[in-house]
Amino acid sequence: MIAKLMSQEFISTRKALFTTVGIMLVVILMGYALAILRVPILDGLGLGAGIGGTIALTPVVLAVLAAHYWRTMYGAQGYFTMTIPVRGRAIFAAKVLYGISASLAAAVVTVALLALAAVAFAVSKGVAPLDFLREGLTMLDPGLGWFIAIALTIQLVFWVIAGAALMSIGAEGRFNHLGFGAPVIGAVALYFVMQLLGLAAMLFVPLGIRIGGPDAGAFVAQGMFPDFLAALKPGGTAAAEPSVLGIGVFLVSLVAGVVFAMWGARSVDRRTSLR
């Protein structure tokens, strides 16, 4: 059933997504073309516009999906959605899984477009594109590259789950007089809470990556609290150069993602309140 619901999500959103992404791709590729063709004056502007559009691609896709979720769950189409003969948590799961799939696809397209931006930059500067890309890749440690990719994926998945859950919780009867303001307030509060929890996790959770030194990039069972204490000592030099980067913050996102998935599903299942 969830697969059928996800298929229906694709049918319902494909026009908006393809139209939005298609327009952005035209603008982005035109910008890169100006840089590759070295059009005087316009090449730099085109490259900047292309990179800006590339960075905005995934957030725009998330915005389209969020608008669709709100409209079909708590807008005029919400009455139809709630007549589907399945439990609310199944509808929530299908929409979240589809949102994760679509946003990850947008992230892959973003990475490909950033590689194209590097090619356009190299050509505009008269450098061989393959040599430029090869040199750039050699500067990035493979382990660090995989870590960055996994970390960004975790954050993207978390915000899809949290965004859907916040909209459902904000639409409950006790909050729905605020309209879409309720999930917006919830998102702002969640952002600051996650910042505080992330900082605490970086300091105290014994999981980090060594930065600098011969074992740079190695995982260690240590947070950043020892470096923090060293930085507080008078005349301490460790303040400017921490030896470990705490990555406990990602455990916070994983745990919070599970909590919001359960909370959001329960909210749709038991507390849906259409105005």
Range of the structural domain that residue 182 is part of: 141-274
Q: What is the pLDDT of residue 222?
A: 85
Count of structural domains within the chain: 2
- pLDDT bucket at 271, cuts 50 / 70 / 90: confident
Q: What is the pLDDT of residue 2?
A: 85
Q: What is the pLDDT of residue 191?
A: 92
- pLDDT bucket at 108, cuts 50 / 70 / 90: very high
Of the residues 96, 123, 139, which one is the last residue of a structural domain?
A: 139
Say which amino acid occupies 264. Answer: G
Same domain, yes or no, for 133 and 227? Answer: no
On average, the pLDDT of the chain sits at 88
Same domain, yes or no, for 131 and 242? Answer: no
Q: What is the pLDDT of residue 139?
A: 78
Write the pLDDT tens digit of every residue in 6-53.
Answer: 999 999 999 999 999 999 999 999 999 999 998 887 888 999 999 999
Beta bridge partners of 219: 209
Convert 125-178 into a string of H (helix), E (strand) and C (coil): CCCCHHHHHHHHHHCCCHHHHHHHHHHHHHHHHHHHHHHHHHHHHHCCCCCHHH
Radius of gyration of the chain (CA): 23
As a whole number, mean pLDDT of residues 215-236 equals 78
Q: What is the pLDDT of residue 237?
A: 53
User: Could you tell me which of 28, 263, 49 has the C-alpha nearest to residue 164?
Assistant: 263
What is the spatial distance between Cα 252 and Cα 258, in angstroms, rounded to a whole number?
A: 10
Check whether 62 has a pLDDT greater than 60: yes
Beta bridge partners of 209: 219, 245
Lowest mean pLDDT across 19-33, 102-116, 117-131: 117-131
Check whether 273 has a pLDDT greater than 80: no
Same domain, yes or no, for 151 and 262? Answer: yes
- The alpha-helical segments, DSSP class H, found in the chain are 2-36, 42-74, 78-81, 88-124, 129-138, 142-170, 181-204, 225-232, 249-270
